[in-house]
A = this chain, B = another copy of it.
Amino acid sequence: MFSAKLHFANAKSDLKADQASLKAEWQNKASGYYVLPDSQDSLLGDLEVFAKKVQAFETIVVVGIGGSSLGAKAAERALRHLPQRNSKQLFFLENGDPIELENVLQKINLQRTLFLIVSKSGGTIETTSIFKLLLSKIGQNAVDSGCADQFVIITDEGSPLDSMALNNQMTRFIIPKNVGGRFSVLSAVGLTPLKLVGYDIAKMLQGAKTVRDGFFASDPLQISAKAAAYAAGKPINTLFAYSNAFEEFVKWYVQLWGESLGKLDKKKARVGFTPIGLIGSVDQHSFLQLIMEGPLDKSVTFLKVGDFRRNLTIPSISLPGLEKNDFVNNASFEKLINAQADATLEAVNSVGAPVDELVIEKLDEFHIGGLFFYYELLTSLVGVKLGVNTYDQPGVELGKTILAKKF
């Protein structure tokens, strides 16, 4: 299951009040993510049927950026070692980098590829531009000329993309209106690609439900205490995740935390915290020095995997002159990486940085679903304490307005 331990003095937190705050957001539908774990039976049924219908496609390409790609990428990277992952290739086309676009187009067989066009608003410039490129590559200049069955639309009901899908009998999956991009991994946005490559998405929702219901019962993961400390705490919040499987998860965290909380508050003051994603033990050789001796402006969360389910042992070989390293001989690599997490936690704790640890038992759908929800709840609660709108992103509009003038 999940476990969490805070190594800093608990900030004053009021669990009942915190539960009431988030329950209010749930009930007044400030965000629809609260209900995703147990309100999507119809979508699950549709995806079951759809996955069978499109099983002949050998490649899935998600065309989407930001909240339309980061969640599925995070889950895929964390889970791709599981046996249920089928053999389909999965690519993500996010920005307009021409080298990247050419690279992916060269790797895939266009005729055997299913494209998921994902855009909540339906109007993301990168996504529509790549969509146009794909239409032209497939030899069509419009969706109504025969290639509609290679494109799936995932968008808000009533968006321009949604209308296009309806007018051309394309498959479409709807994102609930009040589920923003960065909170959408457990909606059709994340579940569709993850189902198509073989994951058990129902278990992902079960993990999320377990974490959600735990918070509203007794908060065993101490989300309330952590949110109180973080809302009044350090300006930089690092997540030090001890497995390469979390490489994309930490990017999902960066978006969730940065974009949800970096806001003007009710008094128009600039608030928010800077998220940083690190991978252990790699970044012990990169970022740790700064944590240890630089400004004490960072909290550090250590995320560990309880059981990697791999028996890979460090052989009992003594390299001449390197006998000092023989203390790890006969131990598992799993023990090494987790002991590095523990040792680094102690070292960071000793210099006075607030540290906490989070352990998921296994890298599977249930636990990744729960991990997503843990961070969503934590983000919502800190947002309440900061007095910001956790679910919008007004600051990105100016750049879009300027962009149009560059052409």
Which A positions have Cβ atoms within 8 angstroms of B?
A: 65-67, 70, 81, 94-103, 122-123, 125-126, 128-129, 131-133, 135-136, 141-143, 160-161, 163-164, 167, 181, 235-236, 243-245, 251, 254-255, 258-259, 261-264, 270-274, 276, 279-282, 284-298, 308, 310, 312, 314-315, 317, 319-322, 324-325, 327-329, 331-337, 339-340, 342-344, 346-347, 350, 363, 393-396, 398-400, 402-407
Contact = CB atoms under 8 A, between A and B. Distances in A.
Copy number of this protein in the oligomer?
Answer: 2
29 contacts: A97-B245, A97-B337, A98-B334, A98-B337, A125-B325, A128-B322, A128-B325, A129-B314, A129-B325, A129-B328, A135-B315, A135-B317, A141-B317, A143-B319, A161-B322, A236-B274, A251-B286, A254-B286, A261-B294, A262-B290, A262-B291, A263-B294, A272-B293, A274-B294, A292-B395, A335-B407, A340-B403, A342-B402, A343-B405
B315 A281 contact: no
A286 B327 contact: no
Nearest to A331: B407
Contacts of A297: 235, 274
Contact of A94 (B245, B259, B282, B317): B282
Interface SS of chain A: helix
A360 to B, nearest CB: 14
Contact of A276 (B276, B324, B343): B276
Contact of A167 (B65, B122, B142, B320): B320
A261 B295 CA distance: 11
Contact of A281 (B96, B332, B337, B394): B96
Which of A95, A135, A298 has the most C-beta atoms of chain B within 10 angstroms of its own C-beta? A95
Nearest to A324: B123
A254 B287 contact: yes
B396 A317 contact: no
B272 A294 contact: yes
Nearest to A363: B99
A220 B363 CA distance: 50
B319 A131 contact: yes
B343 A280 contact: no
B125 A328 contact: yes
Given A67-B285, A336-B96, A271 B294 contact: yes
Contacts of A329: 132
B99 A286 contact: no
Given A259-B290, A263-B293, A327 B407 contact: yes
A242 B228 CA distance: 36
B271 A259 contact: no
Contacts of A325: 123, 125, 128-129
Contacts of A141: 315, 317
